[in-house]
Amino acid sequence: MSKTVLFELGVEELPARFINSALDQLKEKTLRWLEDNRVPYGEIKGYATPRRLAVQITKVEEKQPDIEEEAKGPAKKIALDEEGNWTKAAIGFSKGQGKDVDDIYFKEIKGTEYVHVNKFIEGEPTAKLLEDFRSVFLSLTFPKNMRWGDRDLRYVRPIRWMIALYGEQVIPFSIENVGTDKKTYGHRFLGSETTVEQAETYEDVMTEQYVLASVEKRKAEILNQLKQLEESNGWKLIIDEDLLDEVTHLVEYPTVFSGSFSEEFLDVPEEALITSMKEHQRYFPVRSSEGELLPYFVGVRNGDDQHLDIVSRGNEKVLKARLKDAQFFYEEDQKGSIDQKMEKLSRMVYQEELGTLADKVNRIVAISGKLSEWLELDEGQKQKAKRAAEICKFDLVTQMVDEFTELQGVMGEKYARIFGEDEEVAVAINEHYMPRQANGAVPPSTIGSIVSVADKLDTIVGSISIGIIPTGSQDPYGLRRQALGILQTLNTHKWSISVEDLINLVHQFYRELDLPTRSEEEVSRDLHEFFRVRAAYLLKENQVDPDVVEAVLAQGIGVYPISLQKAELLVEKRQDPDFKPVQEALGRVLNLAKKADSDEVDEKLFENEEEAELYEVYQKIHTPYLHQLNNDEPEKALETLSELSAPIHDFFDATMVMAEDEKVRQNRLGLLHRVSVDIYKFADLTAIEWKQQF
């Protein structure tokens, strides 16, 4: 007969950001525990609120299934001595299986007889096994733990109660002197101490105590109430998914309420108002059906709908103080000038070994200038890029950004307009922080992209130069995200600038400025490898197979947009039987060319027409091939390169490359080396597992 099992861990309020991970862990570790202990079950349901983590397991059988299995032991020649008596090996094997030598029989496997015994393992009672479930609770990990009282256990929060039920039966165990029981606690203010008499009634009991234990149902209830409020007022709520998750984990019994604030605050940039509402107060901002921000907000109360008018007034009072601060900051920040604000950057340390923020800005200006030249901007655009680079960090000294760090760049754009800066320059100040998160949008404008790439390159090269290199999950400066942002920007705008040139440009700046750095070779190696790994990650995200990734990046990243196109083209070609002769020809060249000492070719040493033909075709395609490759035409470049296929096959059919005559041999290898250099510019085709595809 099966029963339902319930485990609940009652704790002091958990941080909202910990709950999703904790619940996922609890369900996953419960599943693993059940499987490891061979306990048959039906379904696992997880529950979580700020004060509890729980798991309910349905259709749990009363005992483990019995096991009958055949155990294999040593070979017969080892199990019996010369006189036919059982050896110590046989006796030890049988005892180890809980059997006697009389239970041994022999069974032939691949021509050799081995000792065997039949084992019967009776399943243990589930109730007894469940006493070890405390190990699951203790195995949960959290970003931060604490100790309380004189306890030895380090855990996310103090444990206050535990439920452990198998049907109606309490499963006995304890953690830090807190023993299991049927007792639990409802909502901190609306509920009370209560008991769960049967494991399957848990959710209903909690609901009676004003606790919606299911995360999914609690979230759905909040959304439903928000939608009702929208419809009744004709509003459009700004429902941010992260905020919705957070408020779901802040309450046990949600009730939505609304409030208002003075229209005078609408003169403050809406980004500041929205940030104040969302980040500081966990409110949902309100827009009109036309998209205009309205002087209202919506919050979620951890309680019922009694006295909501008082709740609203209290929240309005708190929000008013917040918005007053934002209004004051906004007015104060408009005093003075951008240049006066820029002077303060020279007193703000960016990084101890890399100088002040003013030093960083100077480097961004220099890098941006070089990028503007490489991209062949006209003089007007160059000046705009320079100005954007010069003032890209000025808003870091404003009071608004000091209070709301999320608004860096956003306020810079708004203040730049107020101070009369060019529109493209103002927009670029905001854009240079893009992408702001993984897979976020890249800067749309050329000027914003230039300053963005310059800023990120400076951060990455500077950090790696002084030994700050991401390891494992540690990346305090967000270098990985910034490198991905550079590559994504290069690809979006199709810049024909190689990643290696960008790295070398900034690395050279650091050497010329005589900034603290590790050895030049170490830094260069680490920088190129760091970007190569990021490029490989992005290519794989674009569904490029690992071997194709390695082939395309074998000689470096080069111009990233072209590298991506080459990779996608090779993924397609590996499925094309018509490409097989081309791959074989080019691959043979790459394999043999490694033996060449030089790339010198003397036509006088050619001994057959096939050598001359290959050299002639190579010379004919060399220039157009490189032109196509460097002008964002990789498909045409591969078609041009493929013209070498027939001459290569003819060459190998008619020519002994490793001729006895040293000069002839080296001349032929030199020819292959020249051809291989062009092939490598596309990819190392020998790294691709072609045979598995054709």
Q: Which of 261-270, 507-516, 605-614 has the weakest average pLDDT? A: 507-516
pLDDT score of 692 more than 50: no
pLDDT score of 564 more than 80: yes
The CB-side HSE value for 101 (13 A sphere, CA atoms) comes to: 13
pLDDT score of 693 more than 70: no
The most confident of 92-96, 224-228, 513-517, 690-694, by mean pLDDT: 224-228
pLDDT score of 694 more than 50: no
pLDDT at site 691: 53
Q: Which residue has the higher pLDDT, 150 or 628?
A: 628
Q: Which residue has the tokens 């209004």?
A: 327
Residues 104, 72 contacting (CB under 8 angstroms): no
Q: How many residues does the chain have?
A: 694
Global confidence as pTM: 0.80
Q: What is the mean pLDDT of the segment spanning 664-677?
A: 93
Q: What is the mean pLDDT of the segment spanning 379-394?
A: 97
pLDDT score of 193 more than 90: yes
| Domains of the chain, first to last | 3-63+126-208 (3.30.70), 67-121 (no CATH), 215-333 (no CATH), 352-396+418-541 (no CATH), 570-692 (1.10.730)
Q: What is the mean pLDDT of the segment spanning 595-622?
A: 92
Measured in whole angstroms, the distance separating CA 224 from the mean position of its chain's CA atoms is: 31
Q: What is the mean pLDDT of the segment spanning 658-663?
A: 90
Phi, psi of 326 (to 5 degrees): -60, -40
Give residue-wise pLDDT tens across range 315-332.
999 999 999 999 999 999
- 97 band by pLDDT with thresholds 50, 70 and 90: confident
Query: What is the C-alpha separation between 59 and 126, in angstroms, rounded?
Result: 12
Q: What is the mean pLDDT of the segment spanning 24-43?
A: 94
Q: What is the mean pLDDT of the segment spanning 312-316?
A: 96
Give residue-wise pLDDT tens across range 166-192.
999 999 999 999 999 999 999 999 999
What is the overall mean pLDDT for the chain? 93
Q: What is the mean pLDDT of the segment spanning 440-468?
A: 95
pLDDT score of 517 more than 80: no
- 566 band by pLDDT with thresholds 50, 70 and 90: very high
Question: 263: buried, middle or exposed (CB in 10 Å: 19+, 13-18, 0-12)?
Answer: exposed
Residues 530, 502 contacting (CB under 8 angstroms): no
- 94 band by pLDDT with thresholds 50, 70 and 90: confident
Give residue-wise pLDDT tens across range 195-236.
999 999 999 999 999 999 999 999 999 999 999 999 999 999
DSSP sequence for 596-658: -S-----GGG--SHHHHHHHHHHHHHHHHHHHHHHTT-HHHHHHHHHTTHHHHHHHHHH--SS
